[in-house]
Amino acid sequence: MTEAPLSTSIQEAIRTGRKIEAIKLLRKERGIGMKEAKEIIDQEITGYRASNPGAFSDSAPSGRGLVLTFIALVAIALYYFAMRQ
């Protein structure tokens, strides 16, 4: 028995890392249970990772972007308060 292809909304949820949303959508579309939907989505994620290495990062982010954003916001705040005086 072959499975019906997943809808584009489920595929998009998988590509963007929204696993829970993908499971909910699959359950609603096919009227299946949680366990079966999770197994199908897990298989799809495994296949997607195999065909798209690096699509999901398993390592924690370095935080460099957050630090740079914080520094920029502090600089903007200092400039703003300096200009008000």
Note the pLDDT of residue 53. Answer: 77
Please say if the pLDDT value at position 9 is more than 70.
Answer: yes
Cα separation of 63 and 85, whole Å? 34
Please say if the pLDDT value at position 62 is more than 70.
Answer: no
30: exposed, middle or buried (C-beta count within 10 Å: 0-12, 13-18, 19+)? middle
The CA-CA-CA angle for residues 47, 48, 49, to 5°, reads 90
Q: Domain map of the chain by residue range? A: 8-84
Cα separation of 83 and 85, whole Å? 6
Let me know: does 10 contact 29? Beta carbons within 8 Å: yes
Cα separation of 43 and 60, whole Å? 23
Please say if the pLDDT value at position 85 is more than 80.
Answer: no
Query: How large is the average pLDDT for residues 8-14?
Result: 94
Note the pLDDT of residue 65. Answer: 78
pLDDT in tens, 21-55: 999 999 999 999 999 999 999 999 998 888 887 76
Note the pLDDT of residue 77. Answer: 92
Query: How large is the average pLDDT for residues 49-71?
Result: 74
